[in-house]
Amino acid sequence: SATTVINHWFIRKRSLALGFLFASGGIGGFLMPPLISMLISGLDWRFAWAALTCLHLIMGVAGAGLLIRNMPEEEGQFPDGHASKEQFDEWREKATGHVYHTREDWSVRDALRTPALWILLALFSVLLFATTLLTTHQVAYLQDLKHSPMVSATALGLMLGMSILGRLLSGILGMRFSGRHLAAVFMACLGFGLLSLMNAREIVFVYLYSILTGLGFGGMIVLLPHTMGAYFGRANFSRIVGWTTPIVTLASAASPLLAGFLYDSTGSYTLPFAVTTALIFVCCILALAARPPKPRDKTSAPRA
């Protein structure tokens, strides 16, 4: 995946590269629906379908196959644009700061034995649990509060726009500050956003919810792969992520079903939103506990 390639090519600037990657996805999601609608309206849905298929084939298959290399070593290069291994090693010896980067390539087995990985997994699961719940039930909830469909659509668009800003902001800040501290801040944004939604009878709280939730989600979606790469290295990054993906996927899939069940049982979204908000604020504390793991039978890797 793209995050694996970035994790191979960047260390010091990993968060910035991930920020650009995820921001571009958000921009594409913002621009493509109206473009597709124009194609369908002006020509035909079959032509629009064929055009999108060709675009995916050109960009996703031909472009990726011809232009992308999995690792800089395949081109005789080193991460972050260093010209030689000596230059790269010298940078790692001299580098200081608040951002931790392991010098070890953790195995999947050893990574799964660390509290840090399970905390990061909990953060990612709660993040996707919350955002899937919100995107699925937000419109129905706002309609229950007597807001117009235009307000609901505007809130969703504002959230997407703020998530793009959050991704870029997270990419920049991730080069200077600890991932676990930034994660606590962005999860707090998400939590306060949900609190705003629970009080969204006034329209100002609807837009405050969109701003805070967008920033929180955008920031976290960059920080989590960045921190996993920083803690567990390059060699087995994709395997470690692969082992955690089923749990995250289950959490994401369960949230709209659970919220719908609780709504049918209670006649209100208060309980599912309150439970989700509580989980988010618990994750703020957990994030601070996600300290860099120490390699087994070795001293902790120095900062680089």
Kindly state the percentage of the chain with pLDDT values over 70: 90
Window from 18-32, 112-126, 177-191 with minimum mean pLDDT: 18-32
Question: For the segment 249-300, what is each residue's pLDDT rounded down to a tens digit?
Answer: 999 999 999 999 999 999 889 999 999 999 999 999 999 999 999 876 644 4
pLDDT digits (tens, 9 = 90+) for 86-113: 666 666 666 556 688 888 889 999 999 9
Higher pLDDT, 127 or 81: 127
Domain architecture of the chain: domains with CATH: 2-46+49-55+100-289 (1.20.1250.20)
- Distance set, CA 166 to CA 22, 51, 53 (Å): 10, 31, 30
Sign of the alpha-carbon dihedral angle for 57, 58, 59, 63: positive
Query: Two tokens at 241?
Result: 């992520």
How far is 142 from 198, CA to CA, in rounded Å?
Answer: 10
Please report the pLDDT score of residue 92 as a whole number. Answer: 63
Burial (0-12, 13-18, 19+ Cβ within 10 Å), 293: buried
pLDDT > 60? residue 146: yes
pTM for the model: 0.84
The whole-number pLDDT of residue 93 equals: 60
pLDDT in tens, 213-250: 999 999 999 999 999 999 999 889 999 999 999 999 99
pLDDT of residue 99: 81
Of 54-68, 145-159, 178-192, 290-304, the one with minimum mean pLDDT is 290-304
pLDDT above 70: residue 78:
yes
Question: Residues 9-58: pLDDT tens digits?
Answer: 888 889 999 999 999 887 877 777 677 777 777 777 788 888 888 887 88
**pLDDT, averaged across the chain:** 86
Find the mean pLDDT for residues 68-96. 71
- pLDDT score, position 178: 92
Retrieve residue 146's tokens: 């007597």
